[in-house]
C-alpha cells in the first residue's frame, strides 16, 4: 500500500463518484491479483465449489472487469492480461468434451452444467468487446475462431435442448450467443439468439420475453430465479438497444424488460428475495445480477427510485450505465422506492394465477403478507398453491423453507440440490397451505401442476382491509379449496392482523392438514398437548411427513392459541379449526441422514374423516421486548375471541379485542365486485358490496 | 408534530452535541407521554412483566429523567410532574406490605423482589435530588418522610438479609440507601450504606468493593451480572466522590471501580457480554448500566477509549458527566478501545482461578478464546470449570447456553429463571468441559463449588502461541483434570487454530464425556454414525442428560472430524480422543414440557471404563461462503492430520496441513516458567523453556 503501482495509463482519470470509484478499486484489486497469479486456465474437472470451477468463475470475472478497466484507464496491462486469458481459452476450448463432473443438468464444457458456460460467455464477450479493436488481427482471429464462436456455437447449434427451451438457462444461452454475434458481426448467431435456432421466433430471446414473464413482469420460477434470469435479459436487451435500435427492445411487450426489473425489486422484504420455490434463503438485492439490472434500468428510465436501490446495494457496475447511475446517486437525486401492495398476474397471459403482495407501509421492512396463488413455476416450483407467508420488522415470521441446498459447498453433494429438496422442501406439508390425505398437490408431479392454474378470484390492495381470495380445484382429485387471506389494519393495534379463511369441500371424506411454519421461540399456548418428551416419533412415511418430528399432539375446544416470540416481538396465532380437529407441534429434521435440513418449528391443524372443512386462523403480532432495557410490553395477545358463522352464502368472522371492542369480517361466496350482500349479527343488519365487508360491532365487557 | 409545544423554560438552551441532544429528546418524549398520561401509581400486584411492574418501572424512569430535564431546561412542568409522582408514592408507600407476587426472592414493597425496589430508589433519589430544593417545605417533608426515608429504611434496617450480604442485590440496596442519605443529609443512612447496618465495615458498599470484584475488576457472578452490578457501584461512587471527597473513592483498592468498568467492556465480543453463568444471551454494552458507567468512567479518567464505546453505544446519559462525554465525542476525541488478551484473576484475592481471554486482534469482533477457569460465581454460577468458548467474526462459534429464562415475559413463569435453568443451563453437560459419570461438577451444589478455586497454572497472552493451562481436582471426588487451551496463529491460515489438550486422571474407572456445543449447520464428518433417523431417544436421566436428544452415535479410528458452517465461514473440529471413545451427536430440547429450551447442537466425545484419559481436539475455522456472489472457497479443512504422543513428562501434539507443512506443540507437565524441556521427534531434538514449546517440522508430501 505504500509504493505507487507502476502504470502506463494514457486516459486521463476523471473524478469518479464514490460508488463508481469503489467499483474500480474493487475490480483493480481482483484483476491485479489475477495478473500477479498469472494465467491459470485449468482443464475442467471439479463440480460446483471445486478448484477448477472456482478458477473459471474467477477468470470470466477477470475478463469482464479487465476489459472495463482497460476501457476506463487505457492501461495496457489490463488489456494484455485479458488477451492472455482469452488466448489460453482459445488453446484449451477446442480440445474439450462434455465436463467430467456432469450430473443431472446438461453438461457444459468448462463447467459441470452448461448454464455456467453461458454465464461465462456473457461475461467474456463483454470483456473481450472492450479490448478486441486494439488487438492484432492474429490474436483476434484466434480468440474469435477458437473460443468465442465455438462457445457460441456449442451453446446454440450444439445445445438445441438448452437454447430452444423457454427457461432461464435458455436466456443465459441466448444472451451469450447474441452478445457473441454482435461482437463478431455474425448475424446468424444474433438471429438464432433472438428467434431460436430455426429463426422462426418460436424460441429465442424474444419468445422468452413473451413467455417467461407475466404481463406484470413476474418470472414463472419465482423471485430467486427472477433475480438470476434478469441479468441476461437486461444485458442482452441493452445490447439489442445499442445494435438494433429499430427493435425498440425496451418497449417490447409494453416495456416488459423494465417491468421485470421493477417486479424483482418488489418481490423482496428488507431487500431479501422472498424464498418461493427453489430459493436460497440468504439472497438479497445485493447481488451481481441486480447491480447490472438496476444500472441498466436507471439508464433506460432515469427513475430516481432506482438510485435508492443502488444506494442500499452499495454497489454499481463498471459499465457506462453504472458510471452515470453512481454519479447521479452521489448528486443526491435518489428517491425512496415506493413499495406498495401488488397483484402480480402469473403466466404469459397473466391469467394463470397470481402472486399477491399486501403491504401496509412503503417501508421495505414493513408488514408484508404474501399469497402464493401462482402457477407451478416449472421444475423449480414447489407444491404450495394458496400458500402464504408473513414478514415484518423482525424478518420472516410465517416462513417458507426455500431450497434444500448448500450452493457451491462441495461436501454437500457438490453444491447441487439435495435429495431433501424433493422429499421435504418442495412438498406441500413444508408449506402453509392445505394438505389432503398426506399427499402433495398434483401428487408431487410438477409437470401436472404446470398445466393447472390457480384462480385469483378477488383482490383488494389498499385501505384498512386488504385481501386476496383465490381457489383451486385441481391440486387434488376431488377436493376444491378456497382461501381468503386478509391483512387488517385495526385502530389501536400497532401491527396489522392477518385473517385466514380456508374452506375445503369434497364429495368424499379426507384427512385435512393445515400447517403453519413459523420463525421464533414458543412462549405459550392454551392447547392440551400430549408431549413426546423423552422419545420423539416422526409424523408420517412420505411426502415430507417423514421429515417431521412430532413434539406433541393436543386438542382445544373453541379458539386455540399458540404464541411465539421473535426478535423484539410476540406473535399469537389464533385458530378456530372445524370441530374435532387436533393440533400437532412438529419440527423439521427427521430422516435426515446427512444433516441436510434446518430444524424449524411447525404447527399443524388436522381434521380427519371430513368431506368439508373450514379453518379460520388469525395471526396477531403484538408487544415488544427490549433487550437493552429488558422492558416487556404486551406479551399477551390483544385478541381474546374469534368466532365463525356461516350466514347464507357468506362466512362471518367475529374478532373481540381485550378492551372489549369487536369487529366482524364477512366474506361472500360470490366474489364479483358489484354484488350487494347482507347478514344479521346480534340483531343488526350488516350490508356490504363486493366480496368482503367489515364492521365495527358493539363493545363487550373488556377483560382485564 | 406541527404546533410548537408550550414551554415555560427559563434556562437558556445551550447547543448540545448530537448524542446529548438525542438523550434530551428521548427523555422528553418519555416524560411528556407520562405527563399526558397523568400520575399512575398503582397498588403493586403483578410480577415481572406485568402491568403494575412495568408502570412502577416507567415511573422511576420518569422521576429520574424528569428531574434531569428540569435541571437542564428549567421547565417547571417537568418538576411539577416529578413532584406529583413523588407525592403519589408518598401517599401509597406507607400503606404497603410485602409484594403479593413475591416468589423465591426477597419480596419488595413496590416490586415482586426487593432488588427492583432498590433500583427504584437509586433512580428516584437522583430525580428527586434535581428538584428538591425548589419544592415547598410541606411537599419536601411529605416526600422525605413518607417515601424516600421509609424506602431507605426498608432497604437497610428493614432488610438486613439483603443489605448485609456480599451480593449485587446488596450493592443496589446500599446505593439506594446511600444516595437517600446524602439527599436527606442523613449520615446514619450513609454510614449504613457504606459500612453495613452495624457500621463495622464487615458489610456495606466498601466491603462489597473489596469482596465482589477481583483485583482485576472481575465480578464473581460473571459478565451479565457485572454489567448489572456496575450501575450502583459507579453511581454511588460518583456520589461519594462528590459528598465525601476525602474518601478518594475512585482510588479505593487501586482504582477498583474504574477497573470494574474497564473489565466489563473487556468481557464482551462484538459488544455482547459473554454469556457465562446465568446470563441473557442478547445483552450488550447498549444498556442503561453501561451508559452510566461509561459516562462516569470517562468523567473520572478522560480516557478517550471510553468515547469509542459511547460511540458504539450511540447513547449517553442525562447527567453532567454524560453531557461532557457526548460533547468530547462530538469533538472527535474518541480512540478505539484497545481490546487485547486478558488474564482476569477471580476472587477477592485474585487467586481463586481466572477468566482468560485470548485475542489475536484489537478488533472487538475478532477471534476470542475464553477459558473459564474462575470460581463458582455464587448462586448464578454454572458448573463449567475449565470450560471454553470461541468467538470470531461470525459471532459465537463454541457456545454457552447462558440462562434458561425469558426475562420479564410473564407467560414464562413471570419472567423468572425457569426450571430448565437448573436442570439444563447450569449443568456441566451443557458446557464445553469434562463430565464424569454423568454428574455435574461439585454434584451440582454451588455452595460446595464456591469453596473450591480453580488453579490457573500458566498463561501466555501474546505471540503466535497464546495459551491458558488450568487444573482442578475438586470438581469430582477422585478425578483430577487439567486443560491446556492454545490459540495458535499459523502462517498461511487466515484464522487462528484452537488446540485443546485435556487430561483426566483417577484412581478408579469412570465414564468421561467431553461435550462441544457449537453454533452452525453440520456440513459433513468422517465418523461412522448410527443415526436415529425416525425415532429420537434421550441421552440420559438426569443432570442435563435428560434434555439431550440423541441424533446418532459412532466411532472413528484415529483423528475424527466434524465440519459445520456458520454465516460465511466453515469450522472443522478435529478430535483425537482416547482409544475406544465414541462420538455422540445430540441436540438440546428433550424433556421440555413448556418449550422453554432453545434447540442447539452438541457433539460429545465419550470414553467408558477408564481411569485416565487424554482428549486432544483442534478447532479450525476455514474458508468463506459469499451469499452475494455465491462463491465458496476452502470449504474443506486445511488440517489433515492430528497426532498425540506422550513423551517423558510432556504431551506432544503434531499437526499436518494440507500443503504438507507440519508443526508440533509440546505441553510440559511442569508448568513453571523457567524450566527447560526437551523431546525427540523423528530423530530431531526439540527443546523449549517453560510450559509450552512450538516447532515447525519438515514438510510431508502435500495432499491434493
Ligand atoms: Zn417452498
Ligand atoms: Zn453456562
d(CA A416, CA B303): 54
Residues of A whose CB is below 8 A from B538: 534-535
Residues of A whose CB is below 8 A from B412: 523-524
Provide the pLDDT for residue A391: 98
> Nearest CB to B409: which of A283, A590, A635?
A635
Helix (H) or strand (E) holding A552: strand A548-555
DSSP annotation string for A313-348: HT---SSHHHHHHHHHHHTT---------EEEE-ST
Count of C-beta atoms within a 10 Å radius of residue B535 = 12
Provide the pLDDT for residue B632: 82
Residues of B whose CB is below 8 A from A281: none
Contacts of A468 (CB under 8 A, 6+ apart): A343, A354, A356, A358, A371, A373, A456, A458, A459, A484, A485
Subunit contact A594:B524, Cβ cutoff 8 A: yes
Size of interface A-B (CB pairs under 8 A): 132
At A133-148, the pLDDT tens digits run 999 999 999 999 999 9
CB B253 within 8 A of CB B209: yes
d(CA A219, CA A213): 5
Burial-class residue A121 by CB neighbours within 10 Å (0-12, 13-18, 19+).
Answer: buried
Q: Of the bound ligands, which one is closest to the alpha carbon of residue B385?
A: 2
**A153: contact with B, CB 8 A cutoff:** no
Provide the pLDDT for residue B210: 94
Subunit contact B524:A563, Cβ cutoff 8 A: no
Q: Of the bound ligands, which one is closest to the alpha carbon of residue B376?
A: 2
Burial-class residue B136 by CB neighbours within 10 Å (0-12, 13-18, 19+).
Answer: exposed
Low-confidence ranges of chain B (pLDDT < 50): 1-9, 704
Q: Report the residue count for chain A.
A: 704
Q: Which site among B65, B409, B634 would you substitute to test the A interface, given the most A Cβ atoms closer than 10 Å to its Cβ?
A: B409
> Nearest CB to A630: which of B408, B412, B549?
B408
d(CA A620, CA A561): 10
The mean pLDDT value for A275-280 works out to 96
**A549: contact with B, CB 8 A cutoff:** yes
d(CA B375, CA A204): 72
Query: For residue A1, is pLDDT > 50?
Result: no
The mean pLDDT value for A179-198 works out to 97
Contacts of A125 (CB under 8 A, 6+ apart): A148, A176, A179, A180, A183
Q: How many angstroms is it from A399 CA to the middle of ligand 1?
A: 9
d(CA A197, CA B625): 38
> Does the annotation mark A380 as catalytic?
yes
Subunit contact A628:B284, Cβ cutoff 8 A: yes
CB B493 within 8 A of CB B572: no
Provide the pLDDT for residue B13: 61
d(CA A606, CA A619): 18
For residue B619, the SS3 value is strand
Put the strands of the sheet holding A662-668 in their side by side order.
A639-647, A650-657, A662-668, A692-697
Bigger pLDDT: A698 vs B544: B544
- Rounded to a whole number of angstroms, the distance from the CA of B531 to the nearest CA of chain A is 7
The mean pLDDT value for A205-209 works out to 95
Cα-only R_g, chain B: 28
> Nearest CB to B534: which of A280, A407, A591?
A591
For residue A244, the SS3 value is coil
Residues of A whose CB is below 8 A from B593: 531, 533
Closest CA in chain A for residue B592? A533
Q: How many angstroms is it from A417 CA to the middle of ligand 1?
A: 14
d(CA A136, CA B570): 46
CB A687 within 8 A of CB A666: no
Subunit contact A632:B535, Cβ cutoff 8 A: no
The mean pLDDT value for A221-242 works out to 94
**B541: contact with A, CB 8 A cutoff:** no
d(CA B375, CA B373): 7
- Rounded to a whole number of angstroms, the distance from the CA of A402 to the nearest CA of chain B is 15
At A649-688, the pLDDT tens digits run 999 999 999 999 999 999 999 999 999 999 998 889 999 9
Chain A, 588-617: which have a CB under 8 Å from a chain B CB?
590-595, 598-599
Provide the pLDDT for residue A616: 98
Subunit contact B632:A54, Cβ cutoff 8 A: yes
Helix axis angle, B223-243 relative to B114-129, nearest 10°?
A: 40
Chain B, 174-213: which have a CB under 8 Å from a chain A CB?
none
> Does the annotation mark A81 as catalytic?
no
Residue A105 confidence class, pLDDT cut points 50, 70, 90: confident
Query: For residue A702, is pLDDT > 70?
Result: no
Burial-class residue A505 by CB neighbours within 10 Å (0-12, 13-18, 19+).
Answer: middle
**A530: contact with B, CB 8 A cutoff:** no
Provide the pLDDT for residue B48: 78
Q: Which site among A409, A412, A703 would you substitute to test the B interface, given the most B Cβ atoms closer than 10 Å to its Cβ?
A: A409
Provide the pLDDT for residue B704: 44
Helix (H) or strand (E) holding A267: none
Residue A62 confidence class, pLDDT cut points 50, 70, 90: very high
Query: For residue A166, is pLDDT > 70?
Result: yes
Bigger pLDDT: A524 vs A1: A524
Burial-class residue B685 by CB neighbours within 10 Å (0-12, 13-18, 19+).
Answer: exposed
**A411: contact with B, CB 8 A cutoff:** yes
d(CA A305, CA B465): 53
At A572-616, the pLDDT tens digits run 999 999 999 999 999 999 999 999 999 999 999 999 999 999 999
CB B73 within 8 A of CB B11: yes
Subunit contact B407:A534, Cβ cutoff 8 A: no
Go through B602-636 and write b for each residue having 16 or more CB atoms within 10 A of its CB, e for each that does not.
bbbbbbeebeebbbbbbbbbbbebebbebbbebbb
Contacts of B95 (CB under 8 A, 6+ apart): none
- Rounded to a whole number of angstroms, the distance from the CA of B288 to the nearest CA of chain A is 7
Residues of B whose CB is below 8 A from A522: 595
For residue B638, the SS3 value is coil
Task: Report the candidate in B43, B296, B339 with the shortest Cα–Cα distance to residue B175.
Answer: B296
Query: For residue A645, is pLDDT > 50?
Result: yes
- Rounded to a whole number of angstroms, the distance from the CA of B525 to the nearest CA of chain A is 9
Subunit contact B415:A632, Cβ cutoff 8 A: yes
- The CA–CA distances, whole Å, from B424 to A523, B153, B444, B540 equal 18, 39, 11, 12
Helices (runs of H) and strands (runs of E) counted in chain A: 17, 30
Closest CA in chain A for residue B407? A630
Which domains, from first to last, does chain B contain?
Answer: 1-155 (1.50.10.100), 213-338 (1.50.10.100), 342-637 (2.70.98.70), 638-704 (no CATH)
- Rounded to a whole number of angstroms, the distance from the CA of B171 to the nearest CA of chain A is 20
Q: Of the bound ligands, which one is closest to the alpha carbon of residue B428?
A: 2
At A460-507, the pLDDT tens digits run 999 999 999 999 999 999 999 999 999 999 999 999 999 999 999 999
Helix axis angle, B76-92 relative to B18-37, nearest 10°?
A: 50
Subunit contact A415:B632, Cβ cutoff 8 A: yes
Which one of A380, A510, A517, A574 is the catalytic residue?
A380
Chain A, 269-308: which have a CB under 8 Å from a chain B CB?
280, 282-284, 286-288
CB A124 within 8 A of CB A237: no
d(CA B126, CA B71): 11
Burial-class residue A128 by CB neighbours within 10 Å (0-12, 13-18, 19+).
Answer: buried
Mean predicted lDDT score pLDDT of chain A: 95
The mean pLDDT value for A256-283 works out to 96
Provide the pLDDT for residue B631: 79
Task: Report the candidate in A478, A603, A628, A612 with the shortest Cα–Cα distance to residue A548.
Answer: A603
Subunit contact B406:A49, Cβ cutoff 8 A: no
Amino acid at each position: 500500500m505504500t509504493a505507487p503501482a507502476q502504470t502506463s495509463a494514457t486516459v486521463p482519470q476523471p473524478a469518479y463518484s464514490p460508488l463508481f470509484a469503489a467499483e474500480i478499486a474493487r475490480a483493480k484489486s481482483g484483476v491485479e491479483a489475477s495478473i500477479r497469479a498469472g494465467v491459470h486456465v485449468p482443464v475442467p474437472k471439479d463440480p460446483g465449489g471445486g478448484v477448477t470451477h472456482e478458477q473459471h468463475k474467477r477468470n470470466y470475472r477477470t475478463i469482464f472487469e479487465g476489459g472495463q478497466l482497460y476501457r476506463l484507464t487505457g492501461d495496457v496491462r489490463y488489456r494484455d492480461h485479458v488477451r492472455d486469458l482469452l488466448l489460453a481459452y482459445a488453446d484449451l476450448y477446442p480440445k474439450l468434451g462434455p465436463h467430467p463432473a456432469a450430473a443431472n443438468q446438461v453438461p457444459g464444457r468448462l463447467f459441470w452444467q452448461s448454464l455456467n458456460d453461458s454465464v461465462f460467455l456473457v461475461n467474456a464477450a463483454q470483456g473481450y468487446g472492450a479490448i478486441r479493436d486494439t488487438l492484432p488481427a492474429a490474436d483476434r482471429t484466434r480468440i474469435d475462431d477458437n473460443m468465442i464462436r465455438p462457445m457460441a456455437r456449442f451453446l446454440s447449434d450444439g445445445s438445441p435442448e438448452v437454447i430452444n427451451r423457454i427457461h432461464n438457462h435458455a436466456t443465459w444461452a441466448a444472451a451469450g450467443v447474441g452478445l457473441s454475434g454482435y461482437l463478431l458481426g455474425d448475424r446468424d448467431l444474433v438471429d438464432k439468439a433472438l428467434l431460436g435456432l430455426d429463426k422462426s421466433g418460436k424460441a429465442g430471446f424474444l419468445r422468452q420475453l413473451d413467455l417467461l414473464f407475466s404481463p406484470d413482469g413476474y418470472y414463472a420460477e419465482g423471485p430467486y430465479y427472477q433475480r438470476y434470469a434478469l441479468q441476461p435479459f437486461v444485458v442482452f436487451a441493452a445490447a439489442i438497444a445499442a445494435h438494433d435500435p429499430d427493435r425498440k427492445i425496451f418497449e417490447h411487450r409494453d416495456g416488459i424488460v423494465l417491468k421485470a426489473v421493477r417486479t424483482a425489486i418488489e418481490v423482496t422484504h428488507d431487500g431479501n428475495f422472498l424464498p418461493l420455490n427453489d430459493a436460497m434463503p440468504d439472497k438479497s438485492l445485493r447481488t451481481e445480477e441486480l447491480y447490472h439490472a438496476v444500472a441498466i434500468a436507471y439508464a433506460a428510465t432515469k427513475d430516481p427510485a432506482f438510485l435508492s436501490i443502488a444506494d442500499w446495494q452499495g454497489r454499481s457496475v463498471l459499465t457506462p450505465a453504472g458510471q452515470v447511475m453512481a454519479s447521479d446517486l452521489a448528486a443526491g437525486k435518489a428517491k425512496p422506492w415506493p413499495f406498495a401492495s401488488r397483484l402480480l398476474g402469473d403466466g404469459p397471459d397473466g391469467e394463470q394465477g397470481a402472486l399477491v403482495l399486501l403491504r401496509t407501509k412503503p417501508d421495505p421492512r414493513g408488514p408484508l403478507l404474501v399469497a402464493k396463488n401462482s402457477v407451478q413455476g416449472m421444475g423449480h416450483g414447489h407444491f404450495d398453491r394458496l400458500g402464504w407467508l408473513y414478514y415484518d420488522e423482525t424478518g420472516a415470521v410465517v416462513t417458507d423453507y426455500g431450497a434444500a441446498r448448500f450452493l457451491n459447498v462441495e461436501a454437500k453433494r457438490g453444491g447441487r440440490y439435495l435429495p431433501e429438496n424433493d422429499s421435504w422442501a418442495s412438498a406441500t406439508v413444508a408449506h402453509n397451505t392445505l394438505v389432503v390425505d398426506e399427499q402433495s398437490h398434483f401428487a408431487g408431479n410438477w409437470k401436472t401442476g404446470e398445466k393447472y392454474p390457480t384462480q385469483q378470484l378477488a383482490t383488494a390492495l389498499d385501505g384498512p382491509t386488504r385481501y386476496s381470495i383465490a381457489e383451486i380445484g385441481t391440486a387434488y382429485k376431488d377436493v376444491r379449496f378456497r382461501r381468503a387471506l386478509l391483512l387488517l389494519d385495526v385502530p389501536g393495534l400497532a401491527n396489522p392482523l392477518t385473517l385466514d379463511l380456508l374452506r375445503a369441500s369434497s364429495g368424499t371424506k379426507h384427512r385435512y392438514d393445515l400447517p403453519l411454519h413459523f420463525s421464533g421461540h414458543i412462549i405459550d399456548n392454551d392447547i392440551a398437548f400430549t408431549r413426546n418428551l423423552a422419545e420423539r416419533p416422526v409424523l408420517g412415511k412420505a411426502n415430507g411427513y417423514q421429515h417431521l418430528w412430532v413434539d406433541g399432539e393436543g386438542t382445544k375446544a373453541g379458539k386455540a392459541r399458540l404464541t411465539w416470540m421473535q426478535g423484539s416481538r410476540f406473535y399469537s396465532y389464533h385458530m378456530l379449526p372445524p370441530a374435532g380437529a387436533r393440533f400437532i407441534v412438529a419440527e423439521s429434521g427427521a430422516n435426515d441422514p446427512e444433516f441436510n435440513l434446518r430444524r424449524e418449528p411447525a404447527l399443524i391443524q388436522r381434521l380427519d374423516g371430513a368431506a368439508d372443512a373450514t379453518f379460520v386462523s388469525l395471526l396477531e403480532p403484538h408487544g415488544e421486548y427490549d433487550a437493552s432495557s429488558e422492558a416487556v410490553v404486551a406479551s399477551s395477545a390483544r385478541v381474546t375471541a374469534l368466532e365463525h358463522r356461516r350466514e347464507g352464502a357468506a362466512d362471518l368472522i367475529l374478532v373481540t379485542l381485550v378492551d372489549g371492542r369487536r369487529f366482524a369480517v364477512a366474506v361472500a361466496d360470490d366474489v364479483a365486485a358489484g354484488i350487494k350482500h347482507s347478514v344479521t349479527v346480534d340483531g343488526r343488519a350488516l350490508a356490504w358490496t363486493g366480496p368482503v365487508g367489515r364492521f365495527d360491532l358493539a363493545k363487550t365487557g373488556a377483560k382485564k
